[in-house]
Amino acid sequence: MILTLIFTTFVTVFLAEMGDKTQLTTITLSSTTNKPLAVFIGSSLALILATLLGALAGGSIANLIPAFTLKVLSGIVFFILGINLLAQSKKETTNDSF
């Protein structure tokens, strides 16, 4: 059962991280410094620390707030972020056309 959770988490995070800002930043740093091992170690440690903080915070929050409320709040936050990104995209498209 724990192996299933580990595998599911790995696949989810791996797919979510592909092509995101972190990966693009890592590519840029690696190509400009010519030290790919140092960039790999630095970015790996940063991702591990960020994930640890997220997992600890998630475990603590789950004990304080019911799961349904967390799902609703997450949905609202992602909805607001999506609307904000669409508005920014529309604004940039409008500014580029002039």
Domain boundaries, the chain: 1-64, 66-98
The 8-class DSSP code of residue 66 comes to -
For the question of whether the overall pTM of this predicted structure is more than 0.85, the answer is no
Is the Cβ–Cβ distance between 70 and 62 less than 8 Å?
A: yes
- pLDDT tens across 6-48, in order? 999 889 888 888 777 888 888 889 999 989 999 999 999 999 9
Alpha carbon 95 to its chain's center: 29
